[in-house]
Structure 1
Amino acid sequence: MRAMFEIRGLSKRFGGLQAVKAVDFDLAEGEVVGLLGPNGSGKTTVMNLISGVFPANGGSIRLGGRRLDGLPAHRIAKEGVSRTFQLVRLAPSLSVRQNVLLSLSFGARPVSGREAERRADEALSRVGLEGVGDARVPDLNYIDQKRVELARAVATRPRLLLLDEWLAGLNPTELRAAIALVGSLRDDGATILLVEHIMEAVRALCPRSIVMRAGEKIADGPTAEVLNDRRVVEAYLGGAAHV
């Protein structure tokens, strides 16, 4: 059976730097997969290639059999890819609800008017922000701003959700709540590719993990096995096995 999402030979150069080198992997529908690796390994570049921030120099990206590589970001969003970023990217001059409404203009099935407002409020409720649609973004704390960004991503009901270090910068209490929230999306059948450095979250959320080093994929398999792979331990986890 064909995978829901496929990458084959994905490559990206920035001048003389080969940031991504012929990377291959698949995702099945409903899978939550961790994309791991040390800083500079190419993880976020892969996310940017999938979402159309950068064009690829080689290889292919397919979602449901349709080619995404070569499409601009807004067309990729309409094909059903949604994402968050390492740094929260919200419009501070707009209300919380208006930030989510923006995304609903670019999804696979754009909506407007009262239906869009209903969908925006539904997404905010889904991430634990029920009743705060009229609030100003600058008045929210950090985790709630992250929740708004996640609401904006899930409001479009994407086929593939890309989470780029969405859990970063949270205190232990916030982290537990955030893991539970992403877990609830997983339990609802979302297909998620998750870039993350917090191993507690990776173990809790990702049955499978892919590891990159210097632009190359070096491991792909069950998370418990991958985290004890000698190459991964040497490249990413500081040389201590059984982490």
Structure 2
Amino acid sequence: MLEVRNLTKRFGGLLAVNNVSFHLKTGEVVGLLGPNGSGKSTVMNLISGALMRSAGEVRVDGQRIDGEPAHRIARRGVARTFQLVRLAPSLSLRENVLLSVAFGPEPLWGADAVRRADAALDRVGLGGMGDRRVPDLNYIDQKRLELARAIATRPRLLLLDEWMAGLNPTELKTAIDLIASVRDGGTTILLVEHIMEAVRALCPRCIVMQAGVRIADGPTAEVLADPQVIDAYLGGAAHV
């Protein structure tokens, strides 16, 4: 469903992503792991069109999307959340979701769009709060809103960039169940995450990056036991 071929991104003299290749099958949930600065978010930005590649290809269902602007990639059924939440603070919660509904792969307007937006808010635990404003929300509820905005488009590919960071144990369990429900609906998910409980619960397979290079790709248990991965990312066997 997603194919990344020799993806490369340079920022001046910095090689942030270096010849990275991987693929996701339809319906897979795959973890993209690595230490801070390893290039994970840059890969997400390249897939979603937030950044333009220096070299390489990105294909969705065999069709190249690299080189297209983000709004066109979104219309192909690719949705995402950001590591730092990006919302429209002057709009209500419902209006934030309506933005994505109106410009997603199956644009909706009017009453149909409102019903879709309210259903997405309810699904993430913000039901009945559509008229509230973004500044009224705490950090966790802002993250819920960003996810509602993504899933309201009914994406075929969902990119989650550390969406579960900062959650307490109860919130984490709820978040894992929510992402699992999105997966069970047939959505393919690429998930950048540092919380190993969530990775083990959601991701049968993981890709690991270090210094812009892919260093592992395989079943999660095997990858997390790989000495190279432990050395590069997990900081010792006690964390595996």
Q: Please tell me the TM-score bracket, short chain as reference.
A: over 0.9
Cα drift, residue 78 of structure 1: 0.8
* Range that drifts further, 31-40 or 188-197: 188-197
> Contact conserved, 1:11 with 1:59, CA < 8 A, in 2?
yes
Q: Which residue of 2 aligns with 1:211?
A: 208
Q: Which residue of 2 aligns with 1:137?
A: 134
Q: Which residue of 2 aligns with 1:195?
A: 192
Question: Could you say what secondary structure the match of 1:128 adopts?
Answer: coil
Q: Which residue of 1 aligns with 2:168?
A: 171
1:44 counterpart letter in structure 2? S
- For the residues of structure 2 that align with 1:40 and 1:145, how far apart are their CA atoms? 25
Cα drift, residue 195 of structure 1: 0.2
Cα drift, residue 19 of structure 1: 0.6
Pair 1:161-2:170 in alignment: no
TM-score computed with the length of structure 1 as normaliser: 0.96
Q: Which residue of 2 aligns with 1:151?
A: 148
Pair 1:239-2:236 in alignment: yes
Q: Which residue of 2 aligns with 1:45?
A: 42
1:64 counterpart letter in structure 2? D
Q: Which residue of 1 aligns with 2:79?
A: 82
> Contact conserved, 2:156 with 2:186, CA < 8 A, in 1?
no
**Runs of 4+ that moved beyond 3 A:** none
Q: Percent identity?
A: 73
Which has more helix, going by share of residues? 2
Q: Which residue of 2 aligns with 1:60?
A: 57
Q: Which residue of 2 aligns with 1:120?
A: 117
- For the residues of structure 1 that align with 2:116 and 2:239, how far apart are their CA atoms? 44
Cα drift, residue 239 of structure 1: 2.4
Q: Which residue of 2 aligns with 1:5?
A: 2
Question: Could you say what secondary structure the match of 1:56 adopts?
Answer: coil
Question: Could you say what secondary structure the match of 2:237 adopts?
Answer: coil
2:87 counterpart letter in structure 1? L
> Contact conserved, 1:228 with 1:242, CA < 8 A, in 2?
no
Post-superposition CA distance 1:179-225 (Å, at most 9, x none): 12112112222210000011111011111100000000000011011
2:48 counterpart letter in structure 1? S
- For the residues of structure 2 that align with 1:87 and 1:55, how far apart are their CA atoms? 19
* Range that drifts further, 123-132 or 189-198: 123-132
Q: Which residue of 2 aligns with 1:225?
A: 222
2:148 counterpart letter in structure 1? A
TM-score computed with the length of structure 2 as normaliser: 0.97
State the aligned residue count: 240
Cα drift, residue 32 of structure 1: 0.4
Pair 1:21-2:18 in alignment: yes
- Structure 1 stretches lacking a partner, 5+ long: none
Post-superposition CA distance 1:3-27 (Å, at most 9, x none): x110010000000111111111110
